[in-house]
Amino acid sequence: MKQEYTITVYTENQIGLLNRIAIIFSRRKINIESLNTSPSEVESVHRFTIVINETEDVVRKLCRQIEKQVEVLKAYYNTQEEIVWQELALYKVPTDIIAAEVKVERLLREHGAKAVVIRKDYTVFEVAGHREETDNLIKVLEPYGLIEFVRSGRVAIIKSSDGFHEKLKEFEYREPGEDAIENEFLNENEKVFSM
Amino acid sequence: MQTLELKKETTTATPATTTQISGSEAVLKALLAEKVDTIFGYPGGAIMPIYDALYDYNDRLNHILVRHEQGAIHAAQGFARVSGRVGVVFATSGPGATNLVTGLADAMIDSTPVVCVTGQVFAHLLGTDAFQETDVINITTPVTKWNYQVTDANEIPAVLAKAFYIARSGRPGPVVIDITKNAQLQLFDYAGYEKCEHIRSYRPKPIVRKEYVEEAARLINNAERPFVIFGQGVILGKAEKEFKKFIEKSGIPAAWTIMGMSALPTDHPLGVGMLGMHGNYGPNLLTNECDVLIAIGMRFDDRVTGRLDKYAKQAKVIHLDIDPAEIDKNVKSTVPVWGDCKETLPLLTELIEQKVYPQWLQRFRDCQQREEDKVIKEELNPTSDVMTMGEVIRELNELTNGDAIIVTDVGQHQMVACRYAQMNGTRSNVTSGGLGTMGFALPAAIGAAYGDPSRHTVAIIGDGGFQMTLQELGTIMQFKPKVKIMILNNQFLGMVRQWQQLFHQNRYSFVNITSPDFVQVAKGFGIAGKSINQRADLKQALKEMLEHDESFLLEVMVGKENNVFPMVPQGRGVAEIVLCREEV
């Protein structure tokens, strides 16, 4: 059964890695619902938060493909219940309407909206919360002349995670590399081939 | 004046251990440090500084000038596949780099270690649609294990070290390093080359879980009809000996995928043949009768499994693979054994009981007999006057004793060659398995000849595939690697024709391909050749081809509308394998 999964990927900070991760989804024609990149709890380690709707089997395979990328340290996937998550939304509405309509101010307060900028012509409110919450406020504000709306990618904390500091030590553990092999024949280059 | 003096001071202040060299020279020093001695490449504007540096390294690095960049990468693949080393390619920016894409995709899907160095326009021109600029990194991202663009020469030693480490370690694959022209020209303080042995975010080998090895051994020890299927992982892991010990102690019949071919001598008593759409009858049929299926270093390609919901449903599956992403990707495993089979196979061998399965093995022999009667006999010793591809391979086996490197292109001849070629030693089979790249064989055979010149390299190619990359005859003409080219000419794009006949009601749509006089073409390139269409001439012609002390082209006219059987028709299960046209 398809459901919403939040994928958390710990990576090195490398140009082009976003593309490498994105094409793992697009190659399989899977839509990315939300994507966020940010620093993580570990300095120099980046963190991707990706939301998709898929079956667990597919998500597990995707995570293995993601982990296969050279610059990816680890990929985790979680259901909604296993994470604490937030999205941030901004709403721009005409100031005069809000000033005139007492109801609007009440509605905004009910939705936990906070004014970020108040100007004579417009006011920008922000709401952090789940998708339904930020969606609801759009519907509420539409009749009052919502000018602009934008929502950020999801950020999520995995409830059961102990963070990445300990895990990173495993990655920093060194194993000896492989030796290159010499080509016994090409040492006798001239005897074998001529120009 | 003042600035000049200042500069002087900073130069003298640098430690005595460093010297100033160009980025281009650093590339060549990196190759030498990685014990590279052969490069396949083609120069052009954006890689000229590297070629300029190469002028002074010509005595240490053998550069083979190909006729097309696709030829360079296929040659590097052929080189890598027979030598077990990393193949190296030079190409210029723009069209030079885009011409590599097919080979990169081929190397990616067949896990071949290749490092491609591509030139790129000056860093300040990136993104301006400059002459011969393409976004090489983004074009090659889906078909490379890793890629990186260098814009500063200081990065070159470390990036090249990383490239070689990534290409050859773990599950190998192709790497592209795109170097802007300014970085190639830039002088920098070179502090020597340090090999890369660790990348924090990269685990080439998963940690072996002993409990899974134990569980796998328990399943094997309790099995009544166990069956081993193995792929190129055994060869890539250099675990042929470990593998042989494992099957000889376990007594389990073993079948190979096309990529795993030659990891075990083809005449080994426990070897029961090839898997797949045109593999042998027994291994396909009995996949659905075994009770424990042990997959070693293979990835359950759709050409091997047929319809997945009809694949080995009765069996418990043990899957040994170095790439965790392959476990459960197509076939759900009962026991996954992550790890390099070089490490996991000996652990498993130690825990299993010495056994034989005479009755079970007899089932394979019975199937073999049935296939022999229905297909093989007529293919190898035809009763009609028309020559078959199979009899050519049989005659070739007799002359090479199975010691040659067999390089195949893609299509009917590839299937026939892989079905019937005898291979005694590992790394004898070079073919485009996963991507199915027509035009692969000729350049790959050139690379193979450099990878192991002690053996005969025989390139078996169809009349269609040969026309895709025949420009590489020029490379043979100039550098004289010994390649025995055998064109099996059926005057059709045979495999597509077979499908059109069987599944599209004989509607032959653009499979009728005409060919030039191949012998004359070869002659134009200074390569000796011969064309035969009589069985009576076959043995002598093959002898002449092999004994000729340079490259040789032999065209054999074979039956126009012969089909390759057995066959697991697309969309059917492996047990629904058919032996002849009437059964389709």
Q: Do B451 and A27 touch (CB under 8 A)?
A: no
Q: Do B198 and A175 touch (CB under 8 A)?
A: yes
Find the farthest-apart pair of alpha carbons in chain A and give their distance in angstroms, rounded: 95
Task: Please name the residue that has the structure tokens 């966020």.
Answer: A36
At residue A187, does pLDDT exceed 80? no
Q: Do A27 and B142 touch (CB under 8 A)?
A: yes
Q: Is B9 a catalytic residue?
A: no
Q: Is B181 a catalytic residue?
A: yes
Q: Do B169 and A177 touch (CB under 8 A)?
A: yes
Residues of A in contact with B481 (CB under 8 A): 193
Sheet order of strands, B405-408 included: B429-430, B405-408, B457-462, B484-489, B552-557, B528-532
pLDDT at A195: 36
pLDDT at A171: 84
Residues of B in contact with A66 (CB under 8 A): none
Q: How far apart are CA A45 and CA A38, in angstroms?
A: 9
For the segment B448-468, the average pLDDT, to the nearest whole number, is 98
For the segment A140-147, the average pLDDT, to the nearest whole number, is 91
**Is residue A12 less than 8 Å (CB to CB) from chain B?**
yes
H-run or E-run covering B119: strand B114-120
**Is residue B166 less than 8 Å (CB to CB) from chain A?**
yes
Catalytic residue among B48, B132, B248, B368: B132
* Residue in A closest to B195 by C-alpha: A177
At residue B1, does pLDDT exceed 50? no
Q: How far is B288 from chain A (nearest CA, A)?
A: 24
Share above pLDDT 90 across residues of chain A, in percent, rounded to a whole number = 73
What residues of chain A, 141 to 180, have a C-beta less than 8 Å from chain B? 168, 171-172, 174-178, 180
For the segment B355-367, the average pLDDT, to the nearest whole number, is 98
CA–centroid distance for A152 within its chain: 10
Residues of A in contact with B479 (CB under 8 A): 193, 195
Q: How far apart are CA B220 and CA B217, in angstroms?
A: 5
For the segment B314-327, the average pLDDT, to the nearest whole number, is 97
Share above pLDDT 90 across residues of chain B, in percent, rounded to a whole number = 96
Catalytic residue among B69, B371, B391, B395: B69
Q: How far is A3 from chain B (nearest CA, A)?
A: 20
**Residue of B141, B164, B195 lying closest to A20 (CB–CB):** B141
**Closest Cα partner for B261 from B283, B287, B288, B290?**
B283
For the segment B197-205, the average pLDDT, to the nearest whole number, is 93
Share above pLDDT 70 across residues of chain B, in percent, rounded to a whole number = 97
Q: Do B202 and A67 touch (CB under 8 A)?
A: no
pLDDT at A9: 97
* Tens of pLDDT, residues B13-32: 445 567 999 999 999 999 99
What residues of chain B, 82 to 111, have a C-beta less than 8 Å from chain A? 83-86
Contact at 8 Å (CB) between A68 and A40?
no
- Say if residue A154 is exposed, middle or buried (CB neighbours under 10 Å; 0-12, 13-18, 19+): buried
pLDDT-derived band at A100, boundaries 50, 70, 90: confident
**Closest Cα partner for A61 from A71, A49, A75?**
A75
Q: Which residue has the higher pLDDT, B206 or B520?
A: B520
**Is residue A132 less than 8 Å (CB to CB) from chain B?**
no
Measured CA distances, A41 to A77, B202, B429 (Å)? 18, 20, 49
Q: Which residue has the higher pLDDT, A149 or A175?
A: A149
pLDDT at A108: 84
pLDDT at A194: 38
User: Mean pLDDT for chain B?
Assistant: 96
For the segment B52-58, the average pLDDT, to the nearest whole number, is 97
Eight-state DSSP code of residue A171: H
Q: Do A174 and B205 touch (CB under 8 A)?
A: no
At residue B495, does pLDDT exceed 50? yes
Q: How far is A58 from chain B (nearest CA, A)?
A: 9
The C-alpha angle B135, B433, B317, rounded to 5 degrees, equals 115
Tokens of B251: 């007594």
SS3 B526: coil
* Residue in A closest to B476 by C-alpha: A195
Eight-state DSSP code of residue B492: B
Q: Is B518 a catalytic residue?
A: no
**Residue of B34, B198, B480 lying closest to A194 (CB–CB):** B480
* Tens of pLDDT, residues B67-118: 999 999 999 999 999 999 999 999 999 999 999 999 999 999 999 999 999 9
**Is residue B235 less than 8 Å (CB to CB) from chain A?**
no
**Parallel/antiparallel/unpaired status of strands A83-94 and A148-151:** antiparallel
Q: How far apart are CA B266 and CA B61, in angstroms?
A: 36
Q: Is B364 a catalytic residue?
A: no
Measured CA distances, B425 to B263, B347, B378, B441, B447 (Å)? 7, 24, 27, 20, 18
pLDDT at A180: 56
At residue B2, does pLDDT exceed 50? no
Q: Do A181 and B83 touch (CB under 8 A)?
A: yes
Q: How far is B325 from chain A (nearest CA, A)?
A: 5
Task: Please name the residue that has the structure tokens 């089932």.
Answer: B363
CA–centroid distance for B331 within its chain: 23
**Is residue A26 less than 8 Å (CB to CB) from chain B?**
no
Tokens of B311: 């694949």
* Tens of pLDDT, residues B395-446: 999 999 999 999 999 999 999 999 999 999 999 999 999 999 999 999 999 9
pLDDT-derived band at B215, boundaries 50, 70, 90: very high
pLDDT-derived band at A101, boundaries 50, 70, 90: confident
Give the best residue of A68, A173, A184 to mutate against chain B (max B CB count within 10 A): A68
pTM of this prediction? 0.94
Catalytic residue among B181, B244, B316, B342: B181
**Residue of A65, A177, A183 lying closest to B197 (CB–CB):** A177
Q: Is B131 a catalytic residue?
A: yes
**Is residue A190 less than 8 Å (CB to CB) from chain B?**
no
Q: Do A193 and B38 touch (CB under 8 A)?
A: no
Residues of B in contact with A61 (CB under 8 A): 325, 328-329
pLDDT-derived band at A176, boundaries 50, 70, 90: low
At residue A189, does pLDDT exceed 60? no
Residues of A in contact with B138 (CB under 8 A): 16, 19
What residues of chain A, 101 to 130, have a C-beta less than 8 Å from chain B? none
**Residue of B84, B145, B205 lying closest to A181 (CB–CB):** B84
Give the best residue of A29, A183, A189, A191 to mutate against chain B (max B CB count within 10 A): A183
* Residue in B closest to A46 by C-alpha: B201
pLDDT at B11: 44
pLDDT at B5: 43
pLDDT at B211: 93
At residue B236, does pLDDT exceed 70? yes
